[in-house]
Amino acid sequence: MIKKTMLALGVFTVLFPLMAYAEDPSTATLDMGLNSLWVMLAFILVLLMQGGFILLEAGSTRMKNAGHVAGKTIFTTGLAALIYWAFGYGMAFGGDSSFNAMFGWGDFFFNPSITAVQGDSYPSTVFFLFQLAFAAVSLSIAWGGFAERAKLSSYIIFTLFFVAIIYPTVAHWIWGGGWLAEDGAQDFAGSTVVHLTGALAAFAATVLLKPRIGKFNKDGSANEILGHNQVFTALSVLLLWVGWFGFNAGSTVAIGDGFFGFVAFNTMLGAGAGGVAALLISWAVTGKADITAMLNGTLAGLVAITASCAFVDPWAAVVIGLAAGVLVFYSVKFFEKIKVDDPIYALSVHGAAGVWGTIANGIFATQALADKVGVGTGGLIDTGSWKQLWVQFESVFVVGAFVLVASFLVLGVMKMIMGFRVTEEQEIIGLDLSEHGAYGYPEHMKKADSSIQG
């Protein structure tokens, strides 16, 4: 028996000589490897959220535009990757410059080192991918305002400006060491940077485009233009919800001491609270438990908790989610009242809830968690100080103003030069046919086609 064992060991030493001599990897290398894997996984999850946006936008709009809606999301995500590589990343995170407070400058046509640089906690490649996925999410939020009536060419032009300049500027201000970061603005995973920015671009677009044909009556009353597939919409919320764990928990960009788990935990609570609150409020106010309102509420809970998930205690995550659910219900009514057509509810879900989530930090953030993350201070309840609340207001206001002005400028000029909206006839036929030449649902659309002629 002993002989056999010795023989076996001897054979193994011959076969795998390295095992006997290889050095253990250093703790730093292991740490770097784990962090990289986590950020990579988070990137994958956030990229998959585009699938959520495809289903959300397609499900909430009509059949005649489904192919266009779905296809353009994939296309613009690809386009965004190229533009972010060439310009956007450099504007957001490019090396120091003399005007660093306003935007970054450098690393254009980003050429990363092939492995992690000694001392970095992850390679810059995964960080780039992760940040790119955020930019793409913000862009897809903006498309909510374009839905069902913008020309395909306008998507291309706007992607260019949004991913190269508008989004990176905001990201730089808050995350890239810009002036709001200096002030201690808390926006952990981007209630403001990603969601509010996207929503305000959507707002500018939907105002400039004007409402879809048939949305409002002459007397100002609104019609309900129902989406063609509520199951898509519900599935989209699930996809986004899952993706959000990459979005929020991934924003720790470190495995570290397992803090990402706490962030995920708060995220879950916020989402649940948002959906529950929205369903109950719609039931109480309109007498019907509205599915669309509930789905919007779940997303609003997620959007709101995005800024605060690392800064607040779990009970506050529930409160933030509940408030977001109620807020989004009234916000939808408000936009309808002022006759702004918001087909995907982007303004309410990402805008109103984004503002609320950012402000909520100033109220609910705890000093202990602010110290842990290393950004800003505790909020009103924990510290009794208004300081953080003020900073949060400031960041929402400044970012909001910048994005609105920039988006109106870009889209307004575009509208003047090349036109923004398709013709009435094209809108009625559907963008599938007018922009791409084929319906997303060819069998279903034949009849509608012939009835247009009549």
Partner 1 sequence: MNDPMQLQLLKGIGSADCMDELRSLRDQVHDQMETLLYKCPIEPYNEQLNEVHDAVIQRSIILAEAEMARAGKGSPPVPYAYILFGSGGRREQTLSSDQDSGVVYEDPVSDLEIIQQYFKELSNIIVCHLQEAGYPPCEGNVLSSNPEWCMSQSAWAAKLNGWFEEPTWEAVRYLLIMADSRCVYGEAWLVDELKDLFFIDMLNHSVIVRRMLENTLRHKVLIGIFGQLLKEPYGQDAGSLDIKYGAYIPMVNSIRLLSIQHGIRETSTLARMKRLMEAGKLSEVDGTLYEGAFRLFVRLRLMSTEIRVNGLYSSSGKLSSSKLTKEITDELKSSLRLGKKLQRAVFKQTMGRLT
286 binds partner 1 (CB under 8 A): yes
CB of 217 to partner 1, least distance (A): 6
Distance from C-alpha of 131 to C-alpha of 150, rounded to nearest angstrom: 27
Stretch that binds partner 1, among 196-204, 278-286, 370-378, 443-451 (CB under 8 A): 278-286
**Of 113 and 223, which has the nearer Cβ to partner 1?**
223
- By CB under 8 A, the residues from 92 to 121 that bind partner 1 are none
Residue nearer to partner 1 on the CB measure, 164 or 328 = 328
Phi/psi class of residue 106: alpha, beta or left (left: φ > 0; alpha: ψ in -120 to 50)?
Answer: left
Distance in angstroms (rounded) separating the CA atoms of residues 86 and 109: 4
Smallest gap from Cβ 378 to partner 1, in A, equals: 36
Q: How far is the CB of 286 from partner 1 (least distance, A)?
A: 6
Pick 224 or 425: Cβ nearer partner 1:
224
- Residue with Cβ nearer partner 1 (126 or 295): 295
Q: CB nearer to partner 1: give 148 or 435.
A: 148
- Min. distance of Cβ 395 from partner 1 in angstroms? 35
CB atoms within 10 A of CB 288: 9
- Residue 287 lies near partner 1 (rule: CB under 8 A): yes
Tokens describing residue 348: 């309410």
Least spacing, CB of residue 277 vs partner 1, in Å = 15
Number of residues this chain uses to bind partner 1 (CB under 8 A): 10
Distance CA 243, CA 260 (A): 14
To partner 1, the closest distance from the beta carbon of 296 in angstroms equals 15
Nearer to partner 1, 181 or 328 (CB): 328
Return all residues near 408 (Cβ < 8 A) that are at least 6 apart: 204, 208
Nearest residue (CB) to partner 1, 294 versus 355: 294
Rounded Cα gap, residues 387 and 95, in angstroms: 30
Show the site string, 133-162: x = touches partner 1 by CB under 8 A, - = not.
------------------------------
d(CA 157, CA 180): 28
Q: What does the alpha-carbon distance between residue 443 and residue 416 come to, in Å, rounded to a whole number?
A: 37
Using the rule CB under 8 A, is 258 a contact of partner 1?
Answer: no
Question: Can you tell me the distance from the alpha carbon of 4 to that of 454, in angstroms, rounded to the nearest whole number?
Answer: 91
Instruction: Give 341's DSSP letter.
Output: -
Per-residue contact flags (x/-) with partner 1 for residues 204 to 243, judged by CB under 8 A: -------------x-x-xxxx-------------------
CA dihedral 406, 412, 416, 421 (to 10 degrees): 130
Region from 107-115, 236-244, 279-287, 425-433 binding partner 1, contact rule CB under 8 A: 279-287
Question: Which token pair is 228?
Answer: 């063609």
Comparing CA positions, the residue from 5, 136, 31, 56 lying closest to residue 298 is 56
> Of the candidates 284, 291, 409, 438, which one interacts with partner 1 according to CB under 8 A?
284
Q: How far is the CB of 288 from partner 1 (least distance, A)?
A: 8
Which two tokens mark 46?
Answer: 């956030």
Please check whether residue 260 is in contact with residue 248, taking contact to mean a CB–CB distance below 8 angstroms.
no
The answer to whether 113 and 123 are in contact (CB under 8 A) is: yes
Query: Shortest Cβ distance from residue 283 to partner 1 (Å)?
Result: 8
Q: Which structure tokens are listed for 105?
A: 């400058």
Pick the closer one to partner 1 by CB: 285 or 380.
Answer: 285
**Closer to partner 1 by Cβ: residue 284 or 413:** 284
- CB of residue 93 vs partner 1: minimum separation in angstroms? 45
The answer to whether the beta carbons of residues 241 and 302 sit under 8 Å apart is: yes
Count of helices and strands (H, E) across the chain? 22, 0
Residues binding partner 1 (CB under 8 A): 217, 219, 221-224, 284-287
